[in-house]
Amino acid sequence: MSAIYSLTNPIFTNFAFYAAASTIKMMAMSLLTSRQRLAKNIFANPEDIALGSNKEAKVTLSDPDVERIRRNHLNDIENILPFFVIGALYVATNPTPVVALWHFRVFFFSRIFHTIAYQLALPQPSRSLGFTAGYVATISMAVQLFRALLK
């Protein structure tokens, strides 16, 4: 058998792919926040005003457009980091490859959908469904991990 945490293990390879893709997606939220701040000339710190495109740039922490992206980013942090930890431990249980792949896919695509629903302000329960699908995927992996640990 190949090493569990090796690129020769298809379960780990799939996890690594979706973990990396989720990380890039989460990092993109920082760029979206910066883009929105620059577009609106709204900054979080006085020294950042120099980055503004005109003299009307201001410091504020309450712009609704910027805060929507920041809340979305925070939600990513709250969900993607647990996915990394639980997913890495789940890989060690040597799950069925197809089942593991679907856990990773459901999680990743739920985060993409959640972001789209959040940023486009789609009517609820759109965003909630995206959140719930990813959350359930992570909880499912955790349950399987505990089952393996308690054998």
* Overall residue count recorded for the chain in this entry: 151
- At 126, list the tokens: 């759109």
pLDDT digits over 89-131, tens only? 999 999 999 999 999 999 999 999 999 999 999 999 999 999 9
Residue 111 falls inside a structural domain = yes
pLDDT at 52 over 90: no
- At 46, list the tokens: 């006085």
Residue 43 falls inside a structural domain = no
Reduced 3-state DSSP string for the chain: CCCCCCCCCHHHHHHHHHHHHHHHHHHHHHHHHHHHHHHHCEECCHHHHHHCCCCCCEECCCCHHHHHHHHHHHHHHHHHHHHHHHHHHHHCCCCCHHHHHHHHHHHHHHHHHHHHHHHCCCCCCHHHHHHHHHHHHHHHHHHHHHHHHCC
pLDDT digits over 57-95, tens only? 889 999 999 999 999 999 999 999 999 999 999 999 999
pLDDT digits over 1-15, tens only? 469 999 999 999 999
- At 117, list the tokens: 């629903």
Highest mean pLDDT among 45-49, 50-54, 118-122: 118-122
Residue 53 falls inside a structural domain = no
Per-residue pLDDT, 50 = 83
> Number of structural domains, the chain?
1
Residue 52 falls inside a structural domain = no
Q: Is the pTM of this model over 0.85?
A: yes
Residue 46 falls inside a structural domain = no
CA distances to 9, 12, 20, 127 from 16, rounded to whole Å, are 10, 6, 6, 26
Q: What is the CA radius of gyration of the chain?
A: 19
Residue 24 falls inside a structural domain = yes
In which band, very low, low, confident or very high, does the pLDDT at 20 lie, cut at 50, 70 and 90?
very high
Residue 2 falls inside a structural domain = no
Range of the domain at 88: 10-36+63-149
Angle at Cα 9 formed by Cα 8 and Cα 13, nearest 5°? 90
Per-residue pLDDT, 23 = 98
Per-residue pLDDT, 2 = 65
Output the domain CATH number for residue 130. 1.20.120.550
Residue 114 falls inside a structural domain = yes
